[in-house]
Every structure is written in structure tokens, then in C-alpha cells.
Amino acid sequence: MITNLDNPANKDTKQFLLEVSFKVFISKEYGQVTFDYLTSLTEYTKGIFFYYFENKTDLYCQMMDKYFFSRLNPRYPIHTVEIKSFNDFLKHKIRRHIETNHWFHQNGIEDNPFTIMQHLFAQAVMRYPNFKTKYKSLSDPYFKEWHNAIEIGKKNGEIPLTYDTNSTAICLDALFQSFPFQTAEMPLYNNIFQALKNMGILNVFNI
């Protein structure tokens, strides 16, 4: 659902057009998006769009670069400087989880960011040149962070040694996707803590 399309006054025109385009592409299929529709949502003519973007593909790719390949994507690596425990890593993940959710809510977007990015992913495979290669540069570091944190957790006794690292990373990624994004941090901690406890990953949080 698209709401809160800000008045473009005093905003960088190109960034405003990318923002509007993002909100449209996450709610429609690529083929349904037209410049006529985009101009109807703004105060700008097609000429302004074509001044900044060569065509719809160029607009789409620049939108993806700004929003999909960014911290707004829940699968964007957190690049934590130093992780001393699995607990530390999860707190960083949850903080990012909440920050991302807050940005989407501020911009009038109510859907789960994971769902939004999956929608963009499905279209980009066919529409974004060399998308699979670029996405790999995003997803590989993301799962590497999970793997490193899980190995640290095993050493610290937070995660059973018998747990396969790759399978656990996949399960935890799915776990984060399954939770509705929340702005209240403690309920999210509690929900994830209970889910981890059910998985046999104990003593993660002291709460």
C-alpha cells in the first residue's frame, strides 16, 4: 500500500522520483508500471523523468541500487566490527530489524520489508542486468555473518555443538523473515528468544 508521498518541494528532484518509483515498484509488477502512472503521482511531467532516466529500465535499476542494494534490505550485512558472542550478534540484527521497520513505517509502507524485497527480487532476476552476480555479493557476506556468529555461539556454549552451521543459519534467516516487524524492541527480543529456545538454542539473552 502506498501512502505518504511527500510534496516534492524542497526535495532533490531525482531522489524524489526514485522514492515514488520505489513505492510503485514494490506494489506492482514491472509491466504494470508506466510513466503515465508515475507522473500522475507527482507534479512532474514525463520530460522530467526522461531528463534523469533514459527509460524505465534505467529508472528501475537506479531504484534498485538505492533501495534494494542498501541497508533497507533485511539481508544487507550489518558489518559489525567485532562479535564476541552470538548474543551480541543477535542484538545487532534485531536493532537493524527495528531501524528498517521504522524507516518503512515512516514512509507509509506497512508490508514486511522481507516480503517487499522478495517481490523486488522476483522481478529483478529478469529485469536487472547481471542481477544474480550482484545479489551474490550481497547474500554471501550476509550468510557469512550468520555462519561466523553461529560458530562463536558454539564456542561460547550458546548453541549446541551438534547443530550444523549452514542449516542453522538458514533456519535463523527464515526465523527473522517470519516475525512481523515491530518498533517495540523488547517484545521482539522476547519473541525471538522463545523461538530460539524452541529450537534448542538456549541462554542467548539474559532477559
pLDDT digits (tens, 9 = 90+) for 111-127: 888 889 999 999 999 99
Of the three residues 67, 82, 112, the one that is the final residue of a domain is 67
* Stated pTM of the model: 0.81
Residues 78, 96 contacting (CB under 8 angstroms): yes
Alpha carbons within 13 angstroms on the beta-carbon side of residue 74 total 26
Please report whether residue 63 resides in a domain. Answer: yes
Residues 144 and 47 in one domain: no
Domain co-membership, 45 together with 113: no
Q: Per the domain annotation, does 1 fall within a domain?
A: no
2 assigned to some structural domain: no
> Do 115 and 75 lie in a common domain?
yes
Q: How far apart are CA 205 and CA 190, in angstroms?
A: 9
Bigger pLDDT: 60 vs 196: 60
Confidence of residue 129 (pLDDT cuts 50, 70, 90): very high
60 and 138 assigned to the same domain: no
pLDDT score for 11: 54
Q: For residues 115 and 97, what is the distance between their CA atoms, to the nearest angstrom?
A: 14
Domain residues for the domain of 46 are 13-67
Residue 172 has pLDDT above 60, yes or no: yes
**Is 70 exceeded by the pLDDT of residue 181?**
no
Between the alpha carbon of residue 59 and those of residues 52, 115, 141, the distances in Å are 8, 22, 27
Q: 87 and 63 in one domain? A: no
Q: Are residues 126 and 137 in the same domain?
A: yes
Dist. CA 107–CA 195, nearest whole Å: 30
Q: Cα–Cα distance between 133 and 13 in angstroms, integer?
A: 30
Angle of CA points 9, 10, 14, to nearest 5°: 85
Q: Is residue 179 part of a domain?
A: yes
Same domain, 154 and 175: yes
Over the chain, what is the mean pLDDT? 83
In a domain, 7, yes or no: no
Q: Is residue 132 part of a domain?
A: yes
188 confidence band (pLDDT: 50, 70, 90): low
Structural domain total, the chain: 2
| Cα–Cα distance, 53 to 156 (Å, whole number) | 51
The answer to whether position 43 is within a domain reads yes
Long-range CB pairs of 126-134, under 8 A, 24+ apart, other chains included = 126/30, 127/30, 127/57, 127/60, 128/60, 128/61, 128/64, 129/61, 134/69
Residue 6 lies in a domain: no
Phi/psi at 11 (5° precision): -115, 150
| 181 and 106 fall within a common domain | yes
User: Among residues 66, 83, 189, which one has the least CA distance to residue 128?
Assistant: 66
Q: Which of 31, 51, 67 is the last residue of a domain?
A: 67
Residues 116, 132, single domain; the answer is: yes
